[in-house]
Structure formats: C-alpha cells, structure tokens
A and B are shown apart, each in its own frame.
Chain A
Amino acid sequence: AQKVTQAQTEISVVEKEDVTLDCVYETRDTTYYLFWYKQPPSGELVFLIRRNSFDEQNEISGRYSWNFQKSTSSFNFTITASQVVDSAVYFCALSESSGGGADGLTFGKGTHLIIQP
C-alpha cells in the first residue's frame, strides 16, 4: 500500500496565482516526520520543511505555507503569489520512527508544478 500519496501529477497555473499541493500519508506510528522537497530541473532535491507528528501548528515561510492535519492524514503545501522560479517537481515524504537503525524516506510520486508567465 502506498504510504505517501500525491494525487496531483501535474498542476499548471499562471504566475501570481496561489497554488496548493496535496499530500496524504498513511502510517501506524504515533511518532513520525513529514517532509517536503523541491526538485528543480537541475535534479537536486532541495529540502523545504520537516514537521513531526506532535506539532500540528501550521507553518509559514515567506510565500510558502504548510497545513498539517492529523485528522485527515494530510500535509498540504501552499505557494502564495507563485513565481516562474517555483516551477519544479515537489515531493512529500514520510519517515516513521518504528524499528531500529537508519532508514530512508518514503516518497510520494511528486507533483510537477508549472508556473506560466
């Protein structure tokens, strides 16, 4: 079963519009972390945010904001007043605390965001 679902494969908006990228996750752990990464055409995954499961406060960083709702297992990402430089693939990822040792992240399939000038 897919643990991180990004149902929007591709979104295209005109510059200055607001856009929300959806992320729904699945876990049995009570302690877990959620992440968002941005992947521009250059390929590097750029870390945007990390949120633990006990902190449901929404976060705002400039034009970026995140809405974490445990009741719906969602961690959505909103870009306000989008710009062409925001065009990229955005990944939501989950890390669960159960088990021992190091582990990688479980990623969603990503949402390709296109901002048109």
Chain B
Amino acid sequence: NAGVTQTPKFQVLKTGQSMTLQCAQDMNHNSMYWYRQDPGMGLRLIYYSASEGTTDKGEVPNGYNVSRLNKREFSLRLESAAPSQTSVYFCASSTGRSSNQPQHFGDGTRLSIL
C-alpha cells in the first residue's frame, strides 16, 4: 500500500525553467493538497482540490498552477521558476476537506532553484 507517491524526490532547476511535480494517491481520497515547507515556517498550503474536477487557491498560490488529472493524481506546475520557490514540496490527500480524518502526506520533493 503505497499511500501518497511524489515524483521526483529531488530536482535542481535554473531560474526561468519550468517543471511539473507529480503526485498520486491510492487511498481513493476525494481531496488532495499541495504544501511547501520552508525552514522556520509551518507548512503552507499552495493549492488544493476538494474533489475531482475542482481546484482552489490556498495561502501562497502565486507562481504555481495545478491540475487534478483524475481522482488519483494531482500535479503542481512551476511555469517560470524563481529562487524564492526553493523549498520542499509536499502532496497530501484526505477523505474530504470537512472531515476530521487526517491528511496523508507523501515524502516530498526537494526543489532547488539556482
């Protein structure tokens, strides 16, 4: 049972390059999320998808786009990477946004922008 799988695990980009972070979950969860984790700060929500076919902005959406490809997959795209986007990115899923069930996290993508 893989849970939440993120790819790649590590990536180095040059300023201005683009890339897509992939996320897939096998728990039949309705809701999926993208967070970033920076030193000295709590996780911050970038975008979320409450259910298949819907996406909404979170706390720090600027510079990012997302796609909920199907119920299993939720991708995060950086169109023109900036050094400020150097971070660890986590994907998470849960049964629903209004539930008291936990979010399940992947192991992250460590992204460096030079």
Q: Does A associate with B in a complex?
A: no
Binding site for B on A (CB under 8 A): none
Binding site for A on B (CB under 8 A): none
